[in-house]
Amino acid sequence: MAAGLLVLALIYNGHINRRNAVDYAYASIDVQLKKRWDLVPNLVSSVKAFARHERDLFADIIQARHAAVSSHDASAQRFAHEAQLDTQLPRLVAVAESYPELKSDKAFLNLQRNLTEIEAQIAAARRAYNASVMDYNNGVDMFPSSLVAGLFGFQRREHFITAPAERSAQSIHV
């Protein structure tokens, strides 16, 4: 009896440990996304000064940013909003490359460099999150820990999946 309770406690604590690792990894993504959200208005303003006829693009980016900022939990909806922003930002940079004066603007170049760094940090944070989710989901799905997971209500978590449009290589030039 005591051995059974010990095994139950160990499995339960393993689930708690993996769940906390997922939450920590998600918080790391959130920090990087916040940096990107803060950068987006400055990028849009910089490009807007030179490319006034790109109103639809600016509106799409601001809308995508607002939707992403408004989603707070690690849900498929949140991930979809982030994927939408992921597809819009390279379009903004592509527009900027059409304007030689903008490409030589030091403030814009600094923003562009910051975006490149933040995107790399987001990618690393997503990889860490997805690894944590995989480990957690394995604990929820595999026997005998799946019995404990079901008993205590541990649910599978969603991976931070890249949108199909994002899977092709997109570059951000500095």
User: What are the per-10-residue average pLDDT scores of the chain (174 residues)?
Assistant: 91 97 95 94 86 82 88 80 88 85 86 94 96 98 95 94 56 47
Q: Do 159 and 130 form a contact (C-beta atoms < 8 A)? A: yes
CA angle 85–79–22, rounded 5-degree value: 130
Q: What is the pLDDT of residue 75?
A: 77
Q: Do 149 and 15 form a contact (C-beta atoms < 8 A)? A: yes
CA 152 to chain centre: 29
In this prediction the pTM is 0.80
| 137, amino acid identity | N
Q: What is the pLDDT of residue 164?
A: 57
Q: What is the pLDDT of residue 170?
A: 47
Q: How many residues does the chain have?
A: 174
Q: Do 110 and 171 form a contact (C-beta atoms < 8 A)? A: no
Q: Look up the CATH number of domain 2-167.
A: 1.20.1440.20
Q: What is the pLDDT of residue 95?
A: 85
Q: How far is the C-alpha of 129 from the C-alpha of 118, rounded, in Å?
A: 16
Q: What is the pLDDT of residue 166?
A: 52
Q: What are the residues whose beta carbons fall under 8 Å from the beta carbon of 130, sequence distance 6 or more?
A: 159, 160
Q: How far is the C-alpha of 75 from the C-alpha of 158, rounded, in Å?
A: 7
